[in-house]
Amino acid sequence: MSNLDEQMAVAEAIAEYGDDKIQHLEWTEHIRRRPGMYIGKQGDGSHSDDGIYILLKEVIDNSIDEYAMGFGKRIDVRIDEDGRVCVRDFGRGIPLGKLDACVSEINTGGKYDTSVFKKSVGLNGVGLKAVNALSKYFFVRACREGQKKEIIYEAAKKIEERDIEPTDEPNGTYVEFVPDALIFENYKFRMEFVETLLSNYSYLNTGLTLTLNGKRFMSKNGLADLLNARMDSDPIYTPIHLTGEDIEVVLTHGKSYGEEYYSFVNGQYTSLGGTHLAAFKEASARVIKEFFAQKNFEYSDIRNGMVAAISIKVQEPVFEAQTKTKLGSTRMAPDQDAITVQKFVGDFLKRELDNYLHRDAETAEIMLQKIQSSEKERKELAGLSKQAKERAKKVNMHNRKLRDCHVHYNDDFKGKNKDDDHRDDSCIFITEGDSASGSITKSRNVETQAVFSLRGKPLNCFGMTKKVCYENEEFNLLQAALNIEDGLDGLRYNKVIIATDADVDGMHIRLLMMTYFLQFFPELVRRGHVYILQTPLFRVRNKKLTRYCYSDEERESAIKECGSTAEITRFKGLGEISPDEFKNFIGKDMRLDTVMLRKEDAVHEMLEYYMGKNTMERQEFIINNLVVELDEA
């Protein structure tokens, strides 16, 4: 292009960018066009941080603030099959004369007055307005001292405002909303995510009762109850539970590798941590190291296997996003002379944790043994790690196992357009065999989807030490591909997807891979990064219709739809599905099952039974159940 052409192009662009291109959006339209700025990702409810859960949380947060100020000891939540959500608290109730403003005027609310809400979460005056704007139906009722007021909205547009009238209902606020399906496509609330949300609220607010469709959540022991519920195996010593003004801490060690933390600010679960969690991790390791003064332990050995939770209360907290998942405040109050979060947490642990360890010699001894064991294993792995990294580096130069993508989970997108940030979409498919890997590789989105090919069945690593991650070439290369040797901070893919055939061998490979992750990288599972890809078992089609079926029930329905001329194909393996077809199964509507860790799963016992060396016990189980199935047949 000549200089003249360039000048003409610039002039044309300037001419097109005129007054008519400048737009003013009402706040409701801005929220609806850019919901990510207010609620994070939209999603369909299949992940715990999807937008519909943020809407629910915004409503409940207001009720929690009421309880924190001493008003109302119960919050009732109901979620219907059609996605309708109802939340009723028994606090003071929104002032009737300002009810409309509090739910429909941006930057309006009572949380700006710290004399009314001293240590609140909702300080931005956005929460209920965002719920209103992103709901196709929103109803609010406030009851105060024998009077009530009700208003109905649709996408934040007022449809009906009823006059104030007498009521015999107790004080409090009732909110009912239906998320807009135009924004949250095909959404569905998963009750396990909602139950986790409510249980967290109960742990942080002892004495508060929450109900979900009649199911009750209440805690007497605070964060100690949280650890008891969240740990998937027994702690090696009784959790250390410490409380003080504006702070509560509980910590222990488990048998698993890695670290596991839960952090909260003013009753808000900060899933991404922040200044308070960073202060806790540093201070707890330092106090323990100083207690065992004669041992020059490394912090990584002290924290290996640690499971802990911390909750603090901060005046006017500053979060790094509207969804409040990471604390940015460096001080306990906005006053520049206020104590720092780091010093507040550090001083508390120096005093309380150190005193506890001096009082409880038995716990201190168990902790010492755990740290020494971690130290010994780390030193044994140090040489192997260096050799394995060199081996992985050489192999990666000609690595046919990994077909990488362009965008990774830990990429730095700072300064780039937020709409171009696809880090959450980044994933890696772990497949078995060249044919399956080939089908996925030809069908994938090279921007965000990587493929790692296994050679046959991986090693059953149950009961082994992490040494096997370096000595086994396949595990070493996978560990290097994921970049998780030193923890999840460098994780390269948001979703780690096990993609195997839907047959016996495929199921076995799934179990072997899940055993690997649960044994050595349980935090990868706990944080919701591991998935199972669901692929169709059947294809039913005629000249006009093609239906892919994931179950016998779906197949029967498809046969009825396609009629007597239907052609039925049973897919025996992923390699049988053509790349053109495979695009349908790993695209926007990809079916994934999240691998979840729950205490009631008794993971260690389950793995020991299915993957351990109790061969005769398993054999007897299979024979007995096979006989039962044959008898029923």
Question: What is the SS3 string spanning 363-383?
Answer: HHHHHHHHHHHHHHHHHHHHH
Residue whose tokens read 């396609």 = 562
Residue-wise burial string across 479-504, b where 16 or more C-beta atoms lie within 10 A, e elsewhere? bbbbbbbebbeebbbbbbbbbbbbee
- Identify the CATH number of the domain in which residue 160 sits: 3.30.565.10
Lowest-pLDDT range of 89-93, 254-258, 276-280: 254-258
CB 521 within 8 A of CB 452: no
**199 lies in the same domain as 283:** no
Which structural domain range is residue 142 located in? Answer: 32-217
Q: Which of 14-18, 411-415, 545-549 has the highest average model confidence (pLDDT)?
A: 545-549
Mean pLDDT of 229-257: 92
Q: Identify whether 592 is part of a domain.
A: yes
The DSSP string of 85-146 is EEEEE-SS---GGGHHHHHHSTT-SSTT-TTT-TT-S--SS-HHHHHHHTEEEEEEEEEETT
pLDDT computed for residue 395 by the predictor: 54
Neighbours of 297 (CB within 10 A): 17
Burial class from Cβ neighbours inside 10 Å (0-12, 13-18, 19+) for residue 439 reads buried
User: Which tens digit of pLDDT belongs to each residue from 202-220?
Assistant: 999 999 999 999 999 999 9
Lowest-pLDDT range of 161-175, 278-292, 338-352, 602-616: 602-616
Give the H/E segment covering residue 284: helix 275-291
Q: Phi and psi at residue 394, in whole multiples of 5°?
A: -65, -45
pLDDT computed for residue 123 by the predictor: 40
**528 lies in the same domain as 543:** no
Instruction: Examine the pLDDT at 173 and tell me if it is beyond 70.
Output: yes
**197 lies in the same domain as 258:** no
Q: Identify whether 380 is part of a domain.
A: no
Counting other chains too, the contacts that 478-481 makes at CB distance below 8 Å and 24 or more residues apart are 478/430, 478/452, 480/388, 480/389, 480/392, 480/396, 481/401, 481/402, 481/404, 481/428, 481/450, 481/452
The domain total for the chain is 4
pLDDT computed for residue 267 by the predictor: 82
User: pLDDT class for 417, splitting at 50, 70, 90?
Assistant: very low
Q: Which of 145-154, 373-382, 437-446 has the highest average model confidence (pLDDT)?
A: 145-154
**105 lies in the same domain as 186:** yes
Residue-wise burial string across 578-595, b where 16 or more C-beta atoms lie within 10 A, e elsewhere? eeebbeebbeeebebebb
Identity (one letter) of the amino acid at 266? Answer: N
**457 lies in the same domain as 415:** yes
Cα gap 12→377, rounded to integer Å: 67
Instruction: Examine the pLDDT at 628 and tell me if it is beyond 60.
Output: no
Instruction: Examine the pLDDT at 171 and tell me if it is beyond 90.
Output: yes
Which three-class secondary structure state does DSSP give residue 331? Answer: strand
Q: Identify whether 483 is part of a domain.
A: yes
Cα gap 435→59, rounded to integer Å: 50
- Identify the CATH number of the domain in which residue 427 sits: 3.40.50.670
Which three-class secondary structure state does DSSP give residue 307? Answer: strand
The DSSP string of 39-69 is HS----SSSTTSHHHHHHHHHHHHHHHHHHT
Cβ-Cβ contacts under 8 Å for 151 (sequence gap 6 or more): 99, 100, 103, 139, 140, 158, 160, 161, 162
Q: Identify whether 27 is part of a domain.
A: no
pLDDT computed for residue 111 by the predictor: 46
**103 lies in the same domain as 146:** yes
Q: Identify whether 531 is part of a domain.
A: yes
Instruction: Examine the pLDDT at 11 and tell me if it is beyond 80.
Output: no
Helices then strands, counting H and E runs in the chain, come out as 21, 23
Instruction: Examine the pLDDT at 460 and tell me if it is beyond 70.
Output: yes
Task: Give me 176's structure tokens.
Answer: 């009912």
Instruction: Examine the pLDDT at 265 and tell me if it is beyond 70.
Output: yes
Instruction: Examine the pLDDT at 113 and tell me if it is beyond 50.
Output: no
Cα gap 578→446, rounded to integer Å: 17
CB 77 within 8 A of CB 212: yes
Q: Identify whether 608 is part of a domain.
A: no
Q: Identify whether 141 is part of a domain.
A: yes
**CA-based nearest residue to 165, from 178, 151, 179:** 151
Instruction: Examine the pLDDT at 605 and tell me if it is beyond 90.
Output: no
User: pLDDT class for 36, splitting at 50, 70, 90?
Assistant: confident
Domain boundary (171, 192, 217) is at 217
Identity (one letter) of the amino acid at 510? Answer: R
Domain boundary (176, 194, 217) is at 217
User: pLDDT class for 116, splitting at 50, 70, 90?
Assistant: very low
- What proportion of the chain, given as a percentage, has pLDDT over 90? 50
**211 lies in the same domain as 277:** no
**477 lies in the same domain as 503:** yes
The pTM of the full predicted model, rounded to 2 decimals, is 0.78
**341 lies in the same domain as 406:** no
User: Which tens digit of pLDDT belongs to each residue from 536-591?
Assistant: 889 999 988 999 998 899 999 999 999 988 999 998 778 788 888 888 889 887 88
Identity (one letter) of the amino acid at 478? Answer: L
**167 lies in the same domain as 52:** yes
**311 lies in the same domain as 441:** no
What are the CA-CA distances from residue 216 to residues 63, 86, 220, 582 (Å)? 16, 16, 13, 44
User: pLDDT class for 114, splitting at 50, 70, 90?
Assistant: very low
Lowest-pLDDT range of 62-66, 161-165, 282-286, 615-619: 615-619
DSSP H helical segments within 398-461, as ranges? 434-443
Cα gap 244→356, rounded to integer Å: 14
Cα gap 408→481, rounded to integer Å: 11
Beta strand segments in 433-561, E = 449-454, 495-498, 530-533, 538-541, 546-549
Cα gap 575→439, rounded to integer Å: 6
Query: What sign has the CA pseudo-torsion 307, 207, 48, 55?
Result: negative
Instruction: Examine the pLDDT at 1 and tell me if it is beyond 70.
Output: no
Give the H/E segment covering residue 354: helix 341-359
Domain boundary (217, 240, 274) is at 217
Q: Phi and psi at residue 93, in whole multiples of 5°?
A: 85, 140
Cβ-Cβ contacts under 8 Å for 488 (sequence gap 6 or more): 523, 524, 527, 529
User: pLDDT class for 6, splitting at 50, 70, 90?
Assistant: low
Mean pLDDT of 68-76: 93
**113 lies in the same domain as 253:** no
Instruction: Examine the pLDDT at 268 and tell me if it is beyond 90.
Output: no
Q: Phi and psi at residue 235, in whole multiples of 5°?
A: -70, 155
Query: Helix, strand, coil shares of the chain as percentages rounded to 5?
Result: 40, 20, 40
CB 175 within 8 A of CB 191: no
What are the CA-CA distances from residue 111 to residues 41, 123, 150 (Å)? 25, 5, 22
Q: Identify whether 336 is part of a domain.
A: yes
